[in-house]
């Protein structure tokens, strides 16, 4: 991409902010509807830019928070939009939005972060031979080198 003679060389911040503020209201827009599968991320991208421009207050905080609440599923994961399946990408976007709004507790935080599943997931990858993860002891679910260092060995029950 090369700059042409007529490209502006300053950021037209007000215009950018106006565009984003108006974007969410285009509910009868074809592209808007088709991009529903990434709505949560789209909201995040818009909000974070508005925040950078100091214009976050122009966005509808209450509506967005209600929307996020409606997107959390029983498993704890969050979907891109109501009725869609939960996914890591949109869970992250939702958490990012709630951080911007300092409202992380409107969702079930404990369910979003399941430390046992995360730990088991990583251990599982290691046991399956993922080279980028340290060898993990399948009994203790901890890295082998840590166990060696602290001298922990499983005792077989008689």
CB nearer other proteins, residue 36 or residue 114: 36
Neighbours of 110 (CB within 10 A): 9
Q: Which of 20, 46, 78, 79 binds other proteins (CB under 8 A)?
A: 79
In this chain, which stretch among 23-31, 43-51, 94-102, 108-116 interacts with other proteins, using CB under 8 A?
A: 23-31
Q: Is residue 136 within the footprint of other proteins (CB under 8 A)?
A: no
Q: Least Å distance between CB 112 and other proteins?
A: 19
- Phi/psi of residue 136, each to 5°? -115, 135
Whose CA is closest to 96, among 156, 51, 149, 35? 51
* Candidate residues 6, 31, 105, 156; the one interacting with other proteins per rule CB under 8 A: 31
Residues 52 and 63 sit within 8 Å (Cβ to Cβ):
no
Q: Which helix (H) or strand (E) holds 99?
A: helix 88-100
Is residue 123 within the footprint of other proteins (CB under 8 A)? no
Stretch that binds other proteins, among 13-21, 33-41, 52-60, 111-119 (CB under 8 A): 33-41
Strands (E), the chain: 136-137, 142-143
Gyration radius of the chain over CA positions: 22
Q: How far is the CB of 129 from other proteins (least distance, A)?
A: 12
Q: Which residues bind other proteins (CB under 8 A)?
A: 28-31, 33-34, 36-38, 79-80, 83-85, 87, 131, 149
């Amino acid at each position: 991409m090369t700059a042409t003679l007529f490209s502006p060389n300053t950021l037209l911040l007000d215009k950018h902010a106006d565009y984003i503020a108006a974007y969410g209201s285009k509910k009868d827009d074809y592209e808007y509807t088709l991009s529903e599968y990434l709505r949560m991320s789209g909201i995040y991208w818009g909000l974070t830019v508005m925040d950078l421009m100091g214009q976050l207050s122009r966005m509808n905080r209450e509506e967005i928070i209600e929307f996020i609440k409606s997107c959390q599923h029983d498993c704890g994961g969050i979907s891109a939009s109501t009725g869609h399946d939960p996914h890591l990408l949109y869970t992250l976007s939702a958490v990012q939005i709630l951080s911007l709004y300092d409202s992380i507790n409107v969702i079930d935080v404990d369910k979003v972060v399941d430390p046992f599943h995360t730990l088991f997931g990583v251990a599982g990858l290691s046991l399956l031979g993922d080279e980028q993860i340290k060898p993990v002891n399948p009994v203790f679910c901890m890295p082998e080198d840590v166990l060696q260092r602290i001298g922990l060995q499983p005792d077989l029950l008689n």
